[in-house]
Amino acid sequence: MRAERSKLSEEESYLLTGTLGLFGGLFVTSDWPSQWTGERAEAVREFWTAAGIRRPSGHRVLWSADGAPLSYRVSYDDKAAVRHRVALYNWTGEARDVGLAGRYRLSAAARSKTLRMENGLILSKAQPPHSLRIANLEN
């Protein structure tokens, strides 16, 4: 997640960090935490806190025809306020609209302000290339 001496864009860094965090995975880094500033530091704290990693109790992945994950929904059985989250991926090299149909409702505190409900879809308009958007879902 550091900004200096990284070949990853900020979007690509968040895609990797966010995916590992949602899966409850191990976070290993060569960065010093002091190198994480602003939104990058907040992205790390979103998943790994002093209380530890949130481990999913259930998850569902929607795959593309060529085997890339399009979306990932994760559920938690812990005492935190957010019980369900959904991630929308854009693996392409250009901005595009990304959406997920289902009986979901976005939480008012959705992390990404670019996500919204439209015609029964959770929608991310013109999502940047190689990116991830995560939303909290209401129960």
pLDDT of residue 132: 92
Measure CA of the first residue to CA of the last residue in the chain; give whole Å.
Answer: 31
Tell me, yes or no, whether 24 lies in a domain.
Answer: yes
30 lies in a domain?
Answer: yes
102: left (phi over 0), alpha (psi -120 to 50) or beta: left
Q: How many Cβ atoms from other residues are within 10 Å of residue 64's Cβ?
A: 11
> Does 79 fall in a domain?
yes
pLDDT of residue 108: 64
Residue 25 sits in which domain range? 10-137
Residue 93 has what pLDDT? 93
Report the DSSP pairing between strands 121-127 and 69-75.
Answer: unpaired
Please check whether residue 114 lies inside any domain of the structure: yes
- Decide if 95 is inside a domain: yes
* Axis crossing angle, helix 10-23 with helix 38-47, rounded to the nearest 10: 10
Domain count, the chain: 1
Look up the CATH number of the domain holding residue 126.
2.60.40.1180
Could you report the average pLDDT of every consecutive run of 10 residues in the chain (139 residues)?
A: 69 85 76 73 74 82 90 82 84 92 74 75 91 84
Phi first, then psi, for residue 97 (nearest 5°) are -75, 135
- Pinpoint the alpha helices (H) of the chain: 10-23, 38-47
**What is the secondary structure of 114-133 as a DSSP string?**
TEEEETTEEEEEEEPSSEEE
* Dist CA 131 CA 89 (whole Å): 6
